[in-house]
Amino acid sequence: MNYYSLLHNSPKTTFKNAVVNGIAPDRGLYFPENIAPLSKHFIDHISEYTNHEIAFEVIKQFVGDEIPEEKLKEIIAKTVSFDFPTVKVDDNIASLELFHGPTMAFKDVGAKFMAQCLEYFNKDNDDEVTVLVATSGDTGGAVANGFLGTKGVNVVILYPSGKVSDIQEKQLTTLGQNIKALEVDGVFDDCQEMVKTAFLDKEITKTLTSANSINVARWLPQMFYFFFAYKALHKTQKELVFSVPSGNFGNICAGIMAQKLGLPIKHFVASTNINDTVPNYLVNGVYNPKPSKATISNAMDVGNPSNFIRIQELFNNDIEALRRAFSSYSFTDDETRSAMKKIHSSSGYVSDPHGAVGYLGLKKYGLKENEFGVFLETAHPVKFLDVVEDTLPVSVEIPEQIRGIMNHKKIATKASSYQDLKDFLMN
């Protein structure tokens, strides 16, 4: 499998190079040259396969022969090592829980898969690689956990000061070893811009790779979730509509990839908070990124979502085709809190703010009688403890994964400019 840059000013490259380099030399995102649909027999008989077998079938064409089959199966076994349950919260709506991994966020799958791939590709290389990643919340913790102790890999995580939850900050600043955190005076978009600038800096770029969803090994494994949900729900005999809480748009882009592989998904809803660049684009046809605004669903506080260009590519940059298959709506913090209350009062289910935004997207879309809606619950409510307990009459039990880090000391370096980042990387 070859990959090409979506800016079309760089040569095609291999899966290995796309993973190791993260971003193309022209600063474009890599995209697979071919997407071959899976067999109808596989889709129709998906219940007969284990999650490990499903994940292998889904990802193998994108890896090609660059990782041996047995090694790829081993990587998948280490990656897909927890459950992905669907929980009914309404007559025609279910939550797909993606938070049962080590850092209790959906990004555990992509981070672990990428870490395992990078370790394999680096196994005979004595040079160290630095994984550089910006986070609006959950990516940092997932990447830190996924790469902790990985041979030949150092990790530098940039996060916006005061704009991630306390638990999210603990998860990315307390592990030590090969994990370093930079606390940036700014918003997520500032962190992301610093990372992109670093990849263009010839003094340092040769030793860098990215673990944001711009990296194909972080992005593509997110297809697994949609196949697992279909396996659990296809016997409802209803057409599935997925609502995905969307920030950098990697997760919903992976869902559309799953659809291109033949998964019968009727429609996608990209549900956002007040960072409404994509909802506005679908209304007026003008893509106008703007500075992100802070919300209670902070992992979606992105004003210029990197992966939206991949979604446009999947629809051949045809906005009318996109509008037929894809809707996007934005919601305020007040609406998010109201949705959390409504879900809890009607079903007893405790959603985090991101899941609540996903639920709101399904409600605004308006499910028809023959449709069944799935919203992605991307993080455990404990990750947003203050918001959840201030909104709902509940006391959230602290899971074991979180209790273990609560008393650890935060270690982070302050940064306010790209030069601060460069100095840190060079020293």
386, HSE (Cβ side, Cα atoms, 13 Å): 8
Q: Which residues does 384 contact at the CB level (< 8 Å), separation at least 6? A: 165, 296, 352, 353
Burial of 102: CB neighbours in 10 Å, binned 0-12, 13-18, 19+: middle
CA distance 135 to 291: 15
- Residue type, position 411, single letter: I
Residue 142 tokens, joined: 């997932």
Q: At what angle do helices 223-233 and 51-63 cross, to 10 degrees?
A: 140
The pTM for the full model equals 0.90
Output the CA angle 375-378-379, nearest 5 degrees.
135
């639920």: which residue's tokens?
359
Selection from 181, 183, 188 nearest residue 136 by Cα: 188
**Quick one: the chain helix, strand, coil %, rounded to 5?**
45, 15, 35
> Is 410 tagged catalytic?
no
Q: Which residues contact 50 (CB under 8 A, 6 or more apart)?
A: none
Q: Distance of CA 289 to CAs 179, 254, 305, 385, Å?
A: 31, 21, 8, 30
> Angle of helix 108-121 relative to helix 69-79, nearest 10 degrees?
150
Distance CA 215, CA 208 (A): 12
* Given 12, 78, 107, 180, the catalytic residue: 107
Q: Which residues pair with 270 in a beta bridge?
A: 244, 328
- Residue range 83-103+219-397 forms a domain whose CATH class is alpha beta
Q: How far apart are the C-alpha atoms of 268 and 322, rounded to whole Å?
A: 10
Q: Which two tokens stand for residue 361?
A: 């997207």
Give, for 311, the enclosing helix (H) or strand (E): helix 308-314
Confidence (pLDDT) at 211 = 78
Distance CA 305, CA 151 (A): 31
Q: Can you give the residue ranges of every domain in the chain? A: 83-103+219-397
Order of all β-strands in the sheet with 2-5: 13-14, 2-5, 30-32
List residues bridging with 180 in a β-sheet: 156
Nearest to 421 by CA among 192, 220, 263: 192
Phi-psi region of 399 (alpha: psi -120 to 50; beta: other; left: phi over 0): beta
Tell me which H or E stretch contains 146: helix 138-147
Tell me which DSSP letter residue 105 carries.
B
The DSSP result for 261-292, as a single string, is: TT--EEEEEEEESS--HHHHHHHHS-------
Q: Give me the pLDDT at residue 251, please.
A: 95
Are 131 and 209 in contact by the 8 Å Cβ rule? The answer is: yes
> pLDDT tens per residue, the chain (427 residues)?
999 999 999 999 999 999 988 889 898 999 999 999 999 999 999 999 999 999 999 999 999 999 999 999 999 999 999 999 999 999 999 999 999 998 888 989 998 999 899 889 888 777 778 888 888 777 778 888 888 888 778 899 999 998 888 888 888 898 888 999 999 999 888 998 898 888 888 888 777 887 778 899 999 999 999 999 999 999 888 999 999 999 999 999 999 999 999 999 999 999 999 999 999 999 999 999 998 898 999 889 999 999 999 999 999 999 999 999 999 999 999 999 999 999 999 999 999 999 999 999 999 999 999 999 999 999 999 989 899 999 999 999 888 878 877 778 888 999 999 999 999 988 8
What residues does 77 pair with on adjacent strands? Answer: none
pLDDT at 368: 96
